[in-house]
């Protein structure tokens, strides 16, 4: 049994329906973001999947300082606010700087701490103190059981609105592997768990624009496997045309194939739920 975390009208955990976090990796421009949101929402409404829209106002962990990083805090949050008002869906973005926390809390329903930064105490506390739902991506370098230390930091601020996300673990220098035991271990910590298959298939050391920088052919299998183990949420980065995406082009899932993927997810979830 996990704690129930509420995101707007969406209830997550403890037997509530599988929820989805989905959207392009980074905000490229308002038109692309709105097009993606409209397409994703149409699919999730058809399949009756609660949706939280995701796109980053800033990607600060790019391999080159010349890589596109996003519109930035002010313009990015303004666009997310307009999307939220237009489509009536909760929104999520990640945060890289503790000084952004207050502004993020004015717009975002979930503030996400990136995997690389999950052990940054000052950032974690700043996000937790906003009172918003906190999604922590487990670092590729971290034992899932050690997420209890991150949870404790957040709880000590009085915030118990926590989601934990699995996005693969280091397997050598460039590859990631998903240890499905991690999903079980993190759920035993008492909070909802989300699985992110799209970041789990990234091949690091190569630019995300390089076709070799990801193995998206494994996304459906990982999705089915993760849901079969038992998760409360699914995280899918999806783009209208991944080949032209300005970030994670090699790993984002095509919007045109999203309904097929989510249909599989719903069917597996329906069967698996009787076992956890």
26-41 pLDDT, tens digit each: 999 999 999 999 999 9
φ/ψ of 85, rounded to 5, equals -70, -35
| Per-residue b or e along 220-234, where b marks 16 or more CB atoms closer than 10 Å to that residue's CB | bebbbbbbbbbbbbb
Block residue for tokens 């909802």: 192
Tell me if residue 243 falls in helix, strand or coil: helix
**The tokens of 117 are what?**
């930064």
φ/ψ of 172, rounded to 5, equals 85, -160
Q: Is the pLDDT of residue 210 over 80?
A: no
Nearest by Cα to 192 from 55, 87, 52, 36: 52
Could you tell me if residue 132 is left (phi over 0), alpha (psi between -120 and 50 degrees) or otherwise beta? Answer: beta
- Domains and their CATH numbers in the chain: 5-275 (3.20.20.70)
| Average pLDDT of the residues in 59-63 | 80
Task: Express each pLDDT in 134-177 by its tens digit.
Answer: 999 999 999 999 999 999 999 999 999 999 999 999 998 889 99
Q: How far apart are CA 17 and CA 9, in angstroms?
A: 12
Task: Express each pLDDT in 89-141 by its tens digit.
Answer: 999 999 999 999 999 999 999 999 999 999 999 999 999 999 999 999 999 99
Other beta carbons within 10 angstroms of residue 215's beta carbon come to 16
């Amino acid at each position: 049994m996990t704690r129930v975390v509420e995101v707007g009208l969406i209830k997550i955990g403890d037997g509530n329906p599988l929820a989805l976090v989905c959207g392009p990796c980074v905000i490229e421009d308002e038109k692309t973001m709105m097009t993606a949101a409209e397409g994703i929402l149409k699919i999730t409404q058809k399949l009756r999947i609660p949706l939280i829209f995701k796109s980053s106002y800033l990607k600060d962990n790019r391999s080159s300082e010349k890589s596109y990083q996003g519109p930035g805090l002010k313009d990015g949050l303004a666009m997310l606010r307009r999307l939220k008002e237009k489509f009536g869906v909760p929104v999520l973005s990640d945060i890289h700087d503790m000084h952004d926390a207050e502004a993020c809390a004015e717009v975002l329903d979930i503030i996400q701490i990136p995997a690389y930064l999950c052990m940054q105490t000052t950032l974690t506390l700043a996000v937790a103190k906003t009172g918003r739902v906190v999604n922590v991506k487990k670092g590729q370098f971290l034992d899932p059981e050690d997420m209890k230390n991150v949870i404790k930091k957040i709880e000590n601020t009085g915030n118990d609105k926590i989601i934990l996300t699995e996005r693969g673990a280091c397997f050598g220098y460039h590859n990631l592997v998903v240890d499905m035991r991690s999903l079980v271990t993190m759920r035993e910590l008492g909070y909802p768990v989300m699985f992110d298959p799209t970041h789990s298939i990234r091949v690091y050391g190569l630019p995300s624009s390089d076709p070799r920088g990801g193995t998206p052919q494994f996304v459906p299998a990982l999705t089915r496997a993760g849901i079969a183990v038992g998760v409360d949420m699914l995280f899918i980065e999806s783009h209208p045309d991944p080949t032209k995406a300005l970030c994670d082009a090699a790993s984002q899932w095509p919007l045109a194939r999203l309904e097929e993927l989510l249909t599989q997810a719903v069917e597996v979830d329906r069967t698996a739920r009787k076992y956890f």
